[in-house]
C-alpha cells in the first residue's frame, strides 16, 4: 500500500500566521503539523511509501522538510506543477495527477496534510484492500455538522452524503481520509471526466456513493481541521504539549 498526503493548499484563511509558507509546516510544539500526519501513516504496517503532493511554490520547502525527516515511512515530495491559487488543480485534481504521473499499481490511502488526529488508520488500510472507504468523525453537534460534509451510514456503508447541509440529519462528518483499492483508482479520473469539481474532495464521495458501495469508517479520538487561526490555536493546545 502507498499513501498520498495532500499539501497543495495556499492557507489563505490563516492570514499572516504561516509567514507565506505552507500551513502543513507550521509548528506544533517542537514539530510540524505534517509530522503528526506522517506518524499516523507510519503506524500502518501496510504502508510502504508516502508521497506528499504540493504546488511548485512550496515544493522546495517540503523537499527540505523531507530530507531532514528521520525514520519510516519513506517519504518523497511531488510538485503538481502549479504556481498560483488561480491555477491550482484542487484536492481531487492532485489525486488524479498523482495516480497518473506515479503509475501506481497499489492500494492507496489518501490523507489531508493539514488535519491533526490521533486515531489509528489500520482499519481503513484493511478495508482499502477490496473496497473504497472514507474516514468519518462524529463531531457530536448538529450545530457544527453544517460546516462539513455530513454522512449517514447503514451497516458500515455510506447511504447519504450532503456537503454543508443547512439541516443536517447526522453528526457524522467526512474527513479527508480515503482508502482506494488498486482496482478502483480509475474512479478519481472518472469523476473529473463526469464534470466533478476538482477542488472539493467531498464531492467525490457524494458522486461515488450513488454509483457503488463505499464503506464509512467511524474514528474515535481527536481530529482538528486546521483551516482557521482558532483551529490552529486549538491544535497547538491539544497536540503541542
pLDDT at 241 over 80: no
Q: List, for residues 110-131, the tens digit of each pLDDT value.
A: 999 999 999 999 999 999 999 9
pLDDT confidence bin for 195, thresholds 50/70/90: very high
Look up the CATH number of the domain holding residue 101: 3.90.550.10
Structural domain range at position 147: 2-239
Q: What residue spans of the chain are helical by DSSP H?
A: 33-42, 59-68, 91-102, 122-127, 186-193, 201-208, 229-239
Q: What is residue 135's predicted lDDT score, i.e. its pLDDT?
A: 96
Q: In the chain, pLDDT over 70 holds for what percent of residues?
A: 100
Q: List, for residues 9-55, the tens digit of each pLDDT value.
A: 988 888 788 888 999 999 999 999 999 999 999 999 999 999 999 99
Q: List, for residues 147-158, the tens digit of each pLDDT value.
A: 899 999 999 999
Domain count, the chain: 1
The residue ranges of DSSP E strands in the chain, in sequence order, are 2-6, 27-28, 31-32, 49-54, 75-79, 108-112, 115-117, 132-138, 149-154, 157-163, 172-180, 214-219, 223-225
pTM here is 0.95
Amino acid at each position: 500500500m502507498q499513501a498520498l498526503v495532500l499539501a497543495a493548499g495556499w492557507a489563505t484563511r490563516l492570514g499572516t500566521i504561516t509567514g507565506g509558507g505552507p500551513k502543513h509546516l507550521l509548528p506544533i510544539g517542537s514539530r510540524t503539523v505534517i509530522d503528526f500526519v506522517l506518524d499516523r501513516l507510519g503506524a500502518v504496517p501496510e504502508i510502504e511509501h508516502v508521497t506528499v503532493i504540493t504546488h511548485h511554490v512550496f515544493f522546495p520547502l517540503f523537499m527540505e522538510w523531507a530530507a531532514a525527516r528521520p525514520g519510516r515511512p519513506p517519504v518523497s515530495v511531488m510538485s503538481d506543477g502549479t504556481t498560483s491559487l488561480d491555477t491550482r488543480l484542487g484536492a481531487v485534481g492532485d489525486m488524479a495527477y498523482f495516480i497518473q504521473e506515479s503509475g501506481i499499481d497499489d492500494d492507496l490511502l489518501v490523507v489531508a496534510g493539514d488535519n491533526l488526529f490521533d486515531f489509528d488508520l489500520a482499519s481503513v488500510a484493511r478495508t482499502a484492500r477490496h473496497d473504497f472507504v472514507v474516514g468519518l468523525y462524529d463531531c457530536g453537534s448538529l450545530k457544527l455538522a453544517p460546516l462539513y460534509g455530513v454522512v449517514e451510514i447503514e451497516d458500515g456503508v455510506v447511504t447519504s452524503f450532503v456537503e454543508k447541509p443547512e439541516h443536517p440529519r447526522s453528526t457524522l462528518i467526512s474527513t479527508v481520509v480515503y482508502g482506494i483499492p488498486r482496482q478502483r483508482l480509475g474512479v478519481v479520473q472518472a469523476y473529473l471526466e463526469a464534470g466533478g469539481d476538482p477542488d472539493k474532495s467531498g464531492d467525490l464521495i457524494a458522486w461515488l456513493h450513488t454509483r457503488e458501495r463505499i464503506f464509512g469508517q467511524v474514528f474515535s479520538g481527536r481530529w482538528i481541521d486546521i483551516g482557521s487561526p482558532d483551529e490552529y490555536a486549538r491544535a497547538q493546545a491539544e497536540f503541542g504539549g
